[in-house]
Amino acid sequence: MPHSDSTLSSPVSPKPRRGRGRPAHADGDAAPVSARLLDAATALFAEQGFDAVGVRPIANRADVDPAMIAHHFGSKLALWEAVVDRLSLRLTDRLAAVALGPGSASARLDEAVGQIIDLLCDAPELAAFILREVVLPSERSAYGAARLANPIHHILRPLIADVVAEHRADIDVDYLFVALNGAIVVSIVSRPLLDRLADPADDAQFRARLKATMAAQMAARIGI
């Protein structure tokens, strides 16, 4: 699987180290310091996990002084929590707009799944972060459940329940919620494997196949 590493590291590549005397938060940098730290932390936590990553590598990758982590977030744990919160806000913003929009429950659920796929394909390190730091149990699991899993569940559950009620009453809605999200996240992290098992896909093909697979997997289509 030769490009497994590049899958994770390409969206946030390490920048060249800044020149001597250039301040850490120089004007002309594209993103604010806090956003650069969040990007760097997301990528490193996704690759190595919370415990293995120190604040210095995060600051180096963000090209800022390590003191900026304490200044902006307070601690490595608070930075981790901010990564979860930013991810949660991005997902719930998109999902809430779809869930409250027009159309049948089935169509809105398809659209919501498409939004999750698009967001995670735009930044595949988020899928790895979710698997390693939210799905796998850790001392941080309660935070991940409360701030990421629960809000998404709150938005998607009514849609899934409507779709299941329409077609099959004997499927547990919450199990379907977890299975659906698990299938999406694992598929995105497994893209290098999929490029070897199936015909290699460019980015648009990958998303289209994944959306078709998820739509096919949904109870939405069962009984139709």
Q: Which residues bind its own copies (CB under 8 A)?
A: 1, 4-5, 7-8, 48-49, 51-52, 128, 131-132, 135-138, 141-142, 145, 149, 153, 168, 170-187, 189-190, 192-194, 196-198, 209-210, 212-214, 216-219, 221-224
Ranges assigned E (strand) in 67-160 = none
CB of 106 to its own copies, least distance (A): 13
Return the structure tokens found at 4.
Answer: 């497994």
C-beta of 26 vs 212, nearer to its own copies? 212
Return d(Cα 203, Cα 102) in angstroms, integer. Answer: 28
C-beta of 33 vs 123, nearer to its own copies? 123
CB of 37 to its own copies, least distance (A): 23
CB of 31 to its own copies, least distance (A): 25
C-beta of 32 vs 182, nearer to its own copies? 182
Say which amino acid occupies 206.
F
C-beta of 90 vs 209, nearer to its own copies? 209
CB of 79 to its own copies, least distance (A): 20
CB of 224 to its own copies, least distance (A): 7
- Provide the phi-psi class of 74: left if phi over 0, else alpha when psi is between -120 and 50, else beta: left
C-beta of 119 vs 135, nearer to its own copies? 135
Contacts of 224 (CB under 8 A, 6+ apart): 167
The DSSP-derived string for 153-199 is HHHHHHHHHHHHHHH-TTS-HHHHHHHHHHHHHHHHHTHHHHHHHS-
Of all helices (H) and strands (E), which one includes residue 84? helix 76-99
Contact 43, 6 (CB under 8 A): no
